[in-house]
Amino acid sequence: MDKLNLLQLFVSLVEHGSFVAVANQSGQSPSTISKAITRLEKSLGVRLLHRTTRQLQLTEAGANYLQTAREVLALLKNGEAQLAQSSIAPTGTLKVSLPLSFGQHYVVPLLPEFCQRYPDIKLDLSFSDEYTDIVEGGIDIAVRSGKLNDSSLIARRLCPIDTGMFASPSYLAQFGRPNSPEQLNQHRWILYRFRQSGRILGISYPQNAQAAEIQPDYQIIVDNGYALAQLASQGVGIALMPHYLARDFVKEGKLTLISPPQRTPDQAVYLYYLSRDYMPMKVKVFIEYLVQMLEEQGETAHSSWMTSRATRPSEHSSL
């Protein structure tokens, strides 16, 4: 900061031509200005100005340094202008990390309209269900299923994760609709295996304020959410899946919810970013847009399309 101030004083001194003029402009004494220039010359090891009682004259080194000083100050001014612009206008590259299933089914369909609204924002998207270090990866926004234990990040809850048992109409027509937890054990199932741990997702059914464990025989095990939903929609078997995987298939009539929704309080979809302070406009408008569009589709911080739909009569069996 001292070197920057010295550069500004040096350029100002050359432009005004006297210590008195610069002193009057800056509110400092002429002797203070003179000492500052002497300090700059000492740090550089060269004389920048010849001083007489009547005038100041640039040395050859001073003339060369003047050009450098002006370029540095111009670059700084332009950089500050760009930063100011980024805080008031949605521009620049926005790096967003998304989970595979939620990102593909819920976020990607919203992006064409976002790009139309904000043509000066360039989106850089990455899809992964694994943990991503936002700071190390230079990521502006991350959406993740489940809460991260990172106090340095701001977390905004997008929606809960509601799960349910789903089957296709063709499967139910062929094998019947189960009407008890015991019958669920006798049906064909598509089970989900977590890729990182290799653990099979457990299946339980809420009954009389308790969870009845179900250990069915299975037809297929998969470690991909979309494959799970796709196979269920094709009549292979029953599958337990989160609401965001099943939504589009339910809308298309390819899947039917056959159980009440289940929810674990600490499981939800969160949006993460670095700080509320000095938030770039590109980050702010993306967050506001995503939250607004999800809410219009029935996804809020405390509800999903599945919980609101399941409150209607005849949405699921009498299990």
The mean pLDDT value for 224-249 works out to: 95
Whether residue 134 lies inside any domain: the answer is yes
CB 97 within 8 A of CB 142: yes
Whether residue 23 lies inside any domain: the answer is yes
What is the reported pLDDT for 245?
94
Calpha distance 125→139 (Å, rounded): 9
What is the reported pLDDT for 146?
76
Q: What is the CATH number of the domain that holds 123?
A: 3.40.190.10
Q: What is the pLDDT of residues 239-279, one digit of tens each?
A: 999 999 999 999 999 999 998 888 887 789 999 998 767 68
Do 111 and 70 sit in the same domain of this protein?
no
What is the reported pLDDT for 319?
45
The mean pLDDT value for 55-67 works out to: 87
pTM of the model: 0.69
Q: What is the pLDDT of residues 116-165, one digit of tens each?
A: 999 999 999 999 888 778 888 889 999 998 776 766 788 899 999 999 99
Interacting residues of 318 by C-beta distance below 8 A, sequence separation 6+? 179
The CB density around residue 219, as the number of other CB atoms within 10 Å, is 14
One-letter amino acid for residue 176 of the chain = G
pLDDT band with cut points at 50, 70 and 90 for residue 318:
very low
Do 179 and 258 sit in the same domain of this protein?
yes
> In total, how many domains does the chain have?
3
What is the reported pLDDT for 87?
58
Domain boundary among 70, 87, 104: 87
The CB density around residue 208, as the number of other CB atoms within 10 Å, is 6
Listing DSSP states for 5-66 in one string gives HHHHHHHHHHHH-SHHHHHHHHTS-HHHHHHHHHHHHHHHTS--EEE-SS-EEE-HHHHHHH
The mean pLDDT value for 44-63 works out to: 84
What is the reported pLDDT for 26?
80
Which has the higher per-residue pLDDT, 72 or 266?
A: 72
DSSP conformational letter for 195? T
What is the reported pLDDT for 312?
44
Interacting residues of 161 by C-beta distance below 8 A, sequence separation 6+? 145, 146, 242, 243, 244, 263, 264, 267, 268, 269, 304
What is the reported pLDDT for 83?
65
Nearest Cα neighbor of 289 from 111, 145, 147, 166 is 111
What is the reported pLDDT for 316?
47
Do 107 and 144 sit in the same domain of this protein?
yes
Sheet strands (E) in the chain: 49-51, 56-58, 92-98, 121-127, 141-145, 154-167, 189-192, 203-207, 210-214, 220-222, 238-242, 256-257, 262-273
What is the reported pLDDT for 267?
85
Do 240 and 199 sit in the same domain of this protein?
yes
Do 115 and 170 sit in the same domain of this protein?
no
Q: What is the pLDDT of residues 6-38, one digit of tens each?
A: 888 888 888 888 888 888 888 888 888 888 889
- Give the torsion sign (CA, 291, 295, 297, 298): positive
User: What angle, rounded to 10 degrees, do the helices at 60-88 and 2-16 form?
Assistant: 120
Q: 30-62 in b/e burial notation, b at 16+ Cβ within 10 A?
A: eeebbebbeebbeeeeeebbeeeeeebeeeeeb
One-letter amino acid for residue 267 of the chain = Q
Domain that holds residue 187: 161-264+304-310
